[in-house]
Structure 1
């Protein structure tokens, strides 16, 4: 085995730039940016709501690294589409509640209102991500394997 073949093996760590330019990569990057903006807005106004954007920022960053480095293909014991779907749905629910509460309690605070608006935008991004995961991964795979509801 030559040195070039050893360098091309899948044992190293590298990020796939094609994944980052794909729709899923851009959605994950948008989720990261919005979580960071919401975190900064809450840090400037209502520090008691910092946990939700910080935790979702870390979780989304972990998923971005796992998907862009193709580690999800190496760890086949987990159902990654289902895990990613549950991440998106739970984040959408959490940010919906946090955004409603932040908007209701803001009392004219610009940072809290901005965080609530970006939170509602992030709920839309997480909801679209969950829908796209459901549509492409879950229902299409069920149709391919013949487990769909349209079979008699």
Structure 2
């Protein structure tokens, strides 16, 4: 009889211990892997960016670059063809690069790589695209044969140049403002560090 009571008491203590350890253990099973949460947690559609001036300009740039590329692709005969090939390369490159940046910003993917200066990347893309789109449009306008496809490509090329130029102005202003805010934050951190060290010296007269 005693052995039975001792056995029952031991089983009760074991079950209580298992219940306590199970509820307090930090290694609980999860339904979602940690790696998945880290990769997909910040991916979301940023509707505020798409509705902003910069986002709308990005969408406009992608659309104009695509239309310009389609127009230049419909040209069947050209002589000389250097201006056509150059315009084709510029419009295709601008469409792909700007489309990738639009995807990165609208899905908030840039927050996964905070060590990259995305404002500077956007500024470089818009300024380079403005220059090369303008140059390609001027060359195509000078060498075209007055066909409908070439004239349409030139028109959309200059429209894309205007969209990229306006975006360059806004990106430069944002980059300047970000650089100014960053330098101000570094200055305030330096001031706080100097104040803290000075207070420590005043609190300990033997250091003076």
* Alignment TM class, shorter chain as reference: 0.7 to 0.9
- Give how far 1:43 is off: 0.6
1:50-69 Cα offsets, whole Å, 9 max, x none, are 22111111101100011011
1:41-86 Cα offsets, whole Å, 9 max, x none, are 1011265232211111110110001101111111022111111100
Unaligned residue ranges in structure 1 (runs of 5+): 148-152
The 5 Å alignment of 1:47-86 reads 48=85, 49-86=87-124
Unaligned residue ranges in structure 2 (runs of 5+): 1-27, 79-83, 186-208
Q: Once structures 1 and 2 are overlaid, which stretch shifts more, 62-71 or 105-114?
A: 105-114
1:11 alignment counterpart: 40
Number of aligned residue pairs: give it: 145
Q: Which runs of 4+ in 1 moved over 3 A?
A: 6-10
Q: 1:139 aligns with which of 173, 176, 186?
A: 176
Q: CA RMSD in A?
A: 2.5
Provide TM-score, normalisation by structure 1. Answer: 0.83
Which is higher, the Rg of structure 1 or of structure 2?
Answer: 2
Three-state SS of the structure 1 residue aligned to 2:40 is: coil
